[in-house]
Amino acid sequence: MGFFDVFKRKKREEKDKENIREDDEEVIEEKEQEETGESEGVSDSESDSDSESVSESGSGSEKEGQIKESAGDEKDDKSGRKEDKEKKSGVFGRLKKGISKTSGRIIGGMETIFLGKKEIDEELLDELEELFVTSDIGVSTTMKIIDDLRNDVSRKILKNPQQLKNALKQKLTEILDIDNELVKTDDKPYVILVTGVNGAGKTTSIAKLAKMFKENGMSVMLAAGDTFRAAAIEQLEIWGERAGVPVVKQKAGSDSAAVVYDAVLSAKSKKIDVVIADTAGRLHTKDNLMNELKKISRVVKKEMPDAPHEVLLVLDATSGQNAVAQAKTFGTEIGVTGVILTKLDGTAKGGVIVGIVDEMQLPVKFIGFGESMDDLKPFDAGEFVEALFESADETDYS
């Protein structure tokens, strides 16, 4: 199995896990029903022990009624518990929970606008437009979405708010669904350069990525390329220890291109699969920063002409439209190949993901939605939009 298939496999495994969990829950529920004699097709004579205990302490029909009643309550309780568990556990459940604030702002806001409306009029479209702009979707992307919807309304394709809601779901999926597979190569090691401003979540995301690769049977090496701050090197070392992966470093102030180059050489000789390089998020000037990032790429290319294979820009979703501005700066200057959008859990500004993809045509390759090591996943447009809408359906905004 190749390096890139891992991500397809990971997505498949996540879906399988969800299914297995559902199956397991059903089996457990069936077993529990059998134990309480509630399972369909279990006759009184078949469930001897149950009927014995009924007759032991009460008259048949009265007791049976009570048992059925309490079994019914129990059943409601169980299915409630099952729903609860499904909501909370599993990657999809955590994603839904993580993006609930964004979901509340966009989808919940839309539901509020739709309240009591049976038809789609110009006023409703104006309100939607305002909602999307204030939800960090961005002005140009919002105009595009609203113009398309207005068009479909005038052509009588969309006749009521429910149809409009479905059309929006489809539209968001279409916008977000651009090719976001990792860049393919037969090179080894696979070199990933991670960039982004300080505090965006670079170090945490590097650790999460390292863990994800390791769990998929790949060996990983980290390069402490943010030599601007001693603390950044220490932090990466701590994360490297936690994830159980080696970290190549030099002292603060040394040449970051040399650190990354050393890591690539070392990984090559040790036959390590993936090198993930941290880089500075801030230097004395923006030009210095961009020049350093370009230099790292140039130096690495001396050893591996196609490396870095990925230049991932870490953007903090809580910074809203600022994230789009950063995507523009980094994207044009240093040839970013994709985005890791972090902190989707702490914000209602997650709509920014739509603007980033639409305005920049920059693929979001991973999303971070929590502080735990497992709260990062390859981005899947269909799943994300589904989670966005489902999360709103499950939230009580009253």
Ligand X SMILES: Nc1nc2c(ncn2[C@@H]2O[C@H](COP(=O)(O)OP(=O)(O)OP(=O)(O)O)[C@@H](O)[C@H]2O)c(=O)[nH]1
Interacting residue ranges for ligand X, rule: CB under 6 A: 196, 198-204, 232, 235, 281, 342-343, 345-346, 368-371, 375
Give the 3-state secondary structure of residue 221. Answer: strand
Smallest distance, ligand X to C-beta of residue 366, A: 10
Can you read off the two tokens belonging to residue 64? Answer: 């049976």
**Residue nearer to ligand X on the CB measure, 67 or 344:** 344
Smallest distance, ligand X to C-beta of residue 286, A: 16
Smallest distance, ligand X to C-beta of residue 218, A: 21
User: Does residue 338 have a known ligand-binding role?
Assistant: no
Can you read off the two tokens belonging to residue 120? Answer: 């789609």
Smallest distance, ligand X to C-beta of residue 152, A: 35
Q: How far from the centroid of its chain's Cα atoms is residue 181's Cα?
A: 15
Contact 237, 247 (CB under 8 A): yes
Q: Which residues contact 36 (CB under 8 A, 6 or more apart)?
A: 50, 67, 71, 74
**Residue nearer to ligand X on the CB measure, 101 or 343:** 343
Smallest distance, ligand X to C-beta of residue 333, A: 18
User: Does residue 282 have a known ligand-binding role?
Assistant: yes
User: Does residue 343 have a known ligand-binding role?
Assistant: yes
Q: How far apart (Å, rounded) are the C-alpha atoms in residues 263 and 284?
A: 25
**Residue nearer to ligand X on the CB measure, 99 or 149:** 99
**Residue nearer to ligand X on the CB measure, 161 or 351:** 351
Query: What is the DSSP secondary-structure string of 249-263?
Result: ---TTS-HHHHHHHH
**Residue nearer to ligand X on the CB measure, 37 or 98:** 98
Nearest-CB residue to ligand X? 368
**Tokens 């969990």, located at residue:** 21
User: Does residue 109 have a known ligand-binding role?
Assistant: no
Give the 3-state secondary structure of residue 10. Answer: helix
Query: Residue 253 — φ and ψ, nearest 5°?
Result: 90, -10
User: Does residue 279 have a known ligand-binding role?
Assistant: yes
User: Does residue 281 have a known ligand-binding role?
Assistant: yes
User: Does residue 202 have a known ligand-binding role?
Assistant: yes
Q: How many CB atoms lie within 10 A of CB 324?
A: 21
Q: Number of helices (H) and strands (E) in the chain: give both, helices first.
A: 16, 8
Residue list, annotated binding site for GTP: 196-203, 278-282, 342-345
Annotated binding site: 196-203, 278-282, 342-345
